[in-house]
Structure 1
Amino acid sequence: MTAIVADHPAPASVVTALYFRTRALHVEAERTGIMRDLLHGDASRAGYVLLLRNLFPAYCAIEQGLERHQGSPLLGVLAHYRLDRAPAIESDLAALCGERWINDIPLLPAGELYASRIAEAAEGDGAQLIAHAYTRYLGDLSGGQILKRLLSRSLELRSAELTFYDFPRFPDLDALKANYRQALDQAAAQFPNGDAIVEEGVLAFSHNIALSCAVQAAAARESAATR
């Protein structure tokens, strides 16, 4: 009897496949735009605020998508974690620049496009949402913790302005990262085409890089205008 092999078998670990497929983009993301400035201590407070404001719709789209699929046997395992970064961004922006931040800080076209792409990924069975959860949440649990320490020094931000990097429901962030990585693989393994999830990861990183560059350019224009 001849075994039937799927045209697009899911990788043994989609998270591992995402890592290798997006590794070069990850490096590029750290070396360009506002992220480069933040990691080198060159960013302004206004630049960081602009970045947070433009990440807010992306996190809203991820978290609304996961909530929509919380009853799914496929994505329910991810929705269960309720990492909820959007409320933390709201809190930080209110602490950084007041309650009117959503009116006072501009949403850039790159921020709109990023959030729109995530909303599209959440349609249907929501499989491609896995790539965006991987890109954002695992990043927050890894490099985000380093960035938190850098921001507290370079921009002298207070704890109340850095809650985006806090996960108070999870006392052990290393365990959370390992468990969430396993949950991403568990969810992805149930979809027939792991390659599509991996390629969505490429799009996710591309949007992040475009947003980072757009924020850097906008912050530079604002700085020049106020001199």
Structure 2
Amino acid sequence: MPADTAAASEPGAPRFSARIREASWSRHQGLDPSADAEQAPGVFDRLFDGTLTVDDYTRWHAQQYFVYEAIEAAAARFAADPVAGPFVFPELARVPAIEADLRFLMGPKWRSGIEPLPATKAYVDRINEVAADWPGGYIAHAYTRYLGDLSGGQAFGKAARRNYGFEDAGASFYDFADIKSPKDFKDEYRSRLDAADLTEADQARVIEEVLLAYDHNGAVLAALGESLGRNPFEPKVIAAICHHMNTDHVADTLVICQGAGGQRGAEAARMTGFDGEGADFAAVVDGAEVPIRIDWAAPLSERAEVRPEIVRLFTESKAQLDDV
């Protein structure tokens, strides 16, 4: 073991796992706080008081999909790593459960109706960057999410089942069937943290990354909180219409992005979502995908209003392009 390995190995020094918990406690307490009277209730508050709609619960669930997809891709890379490998547990994997939940909540076309928020994309980009080749990066982000899921996350699962009448599907994300005792598992996880072959510098870096993971998670929750109750369309409706546009009207979608979207040089495009105020697209321009937001002519609130508005966007976009 290196001579400068972890201060936790010195007599009387606090254990690494204890240092992480102490350093991150305030961040943990500050996520979606309900104690701030000046702040509107957030995702957690509304889940626990029963006012979080199933549609907003679904949107929250969808954002988590992207985060766990990134973490579990890193787990596959580090499975055989001597430092990070001990923290890769198959029983922790959440992506299959999230996929099953989203299929239940949104239908078979669920993948067409979810897109990472800017805050989620920043979170995922950070995971991909720091866990590309640094074992500590994977450890930091896995620790933050999975131990949280085995702790407070269990209360989220109970609230979701109570509020929405879920049995298995819909809240299976919170079910760790292969972990019989979350407490014993967390104790073992922390023991592995204390025994990890990390230098003191790496331990400090891991702690900083844990804090950053909390900050990214808080940013996602804040972004979700800003839109609670504002989208009149159910996620399954959004998924179905996006799938239809991206499967049956690929050329029309590209025309809309080139015309109304102002991206004349777009090479390909897809619809990524919509709400009562407008539609979201992603277009490939010069080999890179760029987001596009196009406002409706007037606010929409019914599914039947969406098709005529898309037809209008296409018709006006085609005329605009034909005039060039």
Same fold (TM over 0.5): yes
1:82 CA drift (Å): 4.5
Residue in structure 2 matched with residue 35 of structure 1 by the alignment: 44
For the 8 Å contact 2:43–2:224, the answer to whether it is kept is yes
> Which has a greater percent of strand?
2
For the 8 Å contact 1:92–1:160, the answer to whether it is kept is yes
Point out the structure with max Rg over C-alpha.
2
Q: Structure 2 CA distance, aligned partners of 1:41 and 1:13?
A: 39
Tell whether 2:192 aligns with 1:190. no
Q: Structure 1 CA distance, aligned partners of 2:62 and 2:89?
A: 26
Alignment of 1:72-83 (within 5 A): 72-83=81-92
Helix, strand or coil for the counterpart of 1:115? helix
Helix, strand or coil for the counterpart of 1:128? helix
1:22 CA drift (Å): 1.4
Tell me which moved more, 171-180 or 144-153: 171-180
Alignment of 1:1-227 (within 5 A): 6=4, 9-11=6-8, 12-31=14-33, 33-187=42-196, 189-193=197-201, 194-223=203-232, 225=276, 226=301
CA RMSD, aligned part only? 2.3
1:198 CA drift (Å): 0.4
For the 8 Å contact 1:51–1:215, the answer to whether it is kept is yes
TM-score, normalising length: structure 1: 0.88
Residues paired across the two proteins, number? 222
> Which has a greater percent of helix?
1
Structure 2 gap segments, 5+ residues each: 9-13, 35-41, 233-274, 277-300, 303-324
1:210 CA drift (Å): 0.5
Point out which structure has higher relative CO (alpha carbons under 8 A, 6+ apart).
Answer: 1
One-letter identity of the residue aligned with 1:40: D
Structure 1 gap segments, 5+ residues each: none
Helix, strand or coil for the counterpart of 1:42? coil
One-letter identity of the residue aligned with 1:17: R
One-letter identity of the residue aligned with 1:85: R
- Runs of at least 4 residues off by over 6 Å: none
One-letter identity of the residue aligned with 1:51: W
TM-score, normalising length: structure 2: 0.63
Helix, strand or coil for the counterpart of 1:62? helix
